[in-house]
Every structure is written in structure tokens, then in C-alpha cells.
Amino acid sequence: MMRMISFLLFYSFLFGTNIPFKVGETLSYQASFSGLDAATGKLKVIEKEIVNDISTFHVRFTARTHGFADYLFPIHDVIDLWLNDKTLLPVKVIKNISEGNYKKTRETLLNQKAGYAIVNKDTILIEMGTHSPYSLFYYFRNEDLRIQDIKSFSTIDGKQITSLEMQFNHGIQIKVPAGEFLCTEVTPVRFDQKKFKNDAKMAIWFTNDDARIPAQIWLKLKFGALILKLKTVSN
């Protein structure tokens, strides 16, 4: 009963709000690795689809190396997500990862009401409101980040559930190929204060306008830092 009440409250909070993106929106990024121009990235809202009787946005994240970087360590990643078009919670996630010699495909189906996810053929218990790390790019676009200080989430990636505390830094001016933007910086921190795998870190800068576009994404990885900067926005 409490799970259902929590869901209804969460649903009613978002229902009727104006989602600040629509089918066809494409965000293109130029990416650099440790200061070298190395890759391109893209976030695209492909279409509306019904998945498990839920109306969803089908969105896709792609990352691809080019030039010398593609020769040294080719990356061709495609992540498809189906997000509930009212709550922006993930309903389905398919990851196709190709990084050097590492290849992996994984499908995750999430039943937020019932509190479980199916990862390939394994069933994992989840809390109401569990996200994929990638769904947060769109979820935060429906929040007024200028009034946020701290927000907590659980995320699922494969069979791993991680509790995150999102910290907000307001009024940050950044410059990217698409222009200059006043942004809110969002940084995830593990709730247990432990380090992420390979000491990874992440920060996302969302524009302080009604679109709340992720204008810049910074990822600190084991062997360097990857920075994605917004290049173009098209509909």
C-alpha cells in the first residue's frame, strides 16, 4: 500500500507538467579525451512508443570515436532507453557497448510499480523511482534545478544498484561550441561515500532556462578525463 501511495504522489507531481523536449530533438556533442579531440556524442528523442502498456519516449545515446582515437581504442556505444512519458522513469534499457575488444549487450526491463527489474533473465529488486544512469539526463530536464540543493536516487546498471546523492552547484557560466550558458552543475556522489569503480567521477551542467539542456558532461575515468560539449541542438 505504501509503495502504491508513493507512486501516486510521484506521478501526480509530474503529471501535467510541460516536458521540455519533444520527438525529434537531437543534441550533438564534441568530445575530447584528456585534451585531445577524440569523439562525438549524441542524445536523440526518436519517437513515442508503447512498452508494457506504458506510453514512453524512446531516446538514444550514442558515442563514437574518430580519427586516430578510433584506431587506438575504438568506441562505438549505443544506449537505447524507453522513458515513461509522464514520470521520465526508465521502463526499458538496451545497452550495446563496443569499446576496444570489449563487447557487451544487455537488456533491462523495469517494473516500477511492482518493484523489480529483469536484467537479461535475472530478476533484481528495485525501489520506486529507480533510474538508469542515462535516464537522469532527461529526468533532470523536468526539474527546476535552480531551487535544488541535494536529491537522492537509486540507479541500476546491470545487476548493480547504487544509491546516489545528487549535489547541485548553481550559477555556473560555461562556454561550449553551441554558445555561452548559465548552468546548474549536478554531481552524483555515492550515498555510502565509497568511490566509484576505477575512481570514476561525473558532473553534468544543465542550462538555467526552461529547456534545461545538458550543455556539458564531464567524466573522470581511470586513464583520463572525457568532456562532452554541446555543439548543436536540432528538432
- The pLDDT, as a whole number, for residue 6 is 38
- The pLDDT, as a whole number, for residue 152 is 86
Q: How far apart are CA 154 and CA 141, in angstroms?
A: 18
DSSP 146: G
pTM of the model: 0.85
- The pLDDT, as a whole number, for residue 223 is 57
Comparing 165 with 9, the larger pLDDT belongs to 165
- Residues facing 60 on adjacent strands: 44, 80
- The pLDDT, as a whole number, for residue 9 is 33
For the chain, which domains are there? 2-234 (2.50.20)
Read off the pLDDT band of 22 (50, 70, 90): very high
Question: Mean pLDDT over all residues of the chain?
Answer: 85
Q: How far apart are CA 142 and CA 131, in angstroms?
A: 14
- The pLDDT, as a whole number, for residue 188 is 85
Comparing 9 with 152, the larger pLDDT belongs to 152
- The pLDDT, as a whole number, for residue 118 is 97
Mean pLDDT of all residues in 33-61? 92
- The pLDDT, as a whole number, for residue 3 is 41
- The pLDDT, as a whole number, for residue 16 is 39
Mean pLDDT of all residues in 108-126? 95
pLDDT at 192 over 80: no
- The pLDDT, as a whole number, for residue 71 is 83
Read off the pLDDT band of 108 (50, 70, 90): very high
Read off the pLDDT band of 193 (50, 70, 90): low
Mean pLDDT of all residues in 181-207? 76
Comparing 125 with 36, the larger pLDDT belongs to 125
Q: pLDDT above 90 covers what percent of the chain?
A: 56
Question: SS in 3 state form for 51-116?
Answer: ECCEEEEEEEEEEEECHHHHHHCCEEEEEEEEEECCCCCEEEEEEEEEECCEEEEEEEEEECCCCE
Longest dimension (CA), the chain: 56
Give the pLDDT confidence of 73-89 residue by residue, as tens digits.
788 899 999 999 999 99
Give the pLDDT confidence of 195-235 residue by residue, as tens digits.
544 445 689 999 999 999 999 998 776 556 778 999 999 98
pLDDT at 53 over 90: yes
Phi, psi of 206 (to 5 degrees): -100, 135
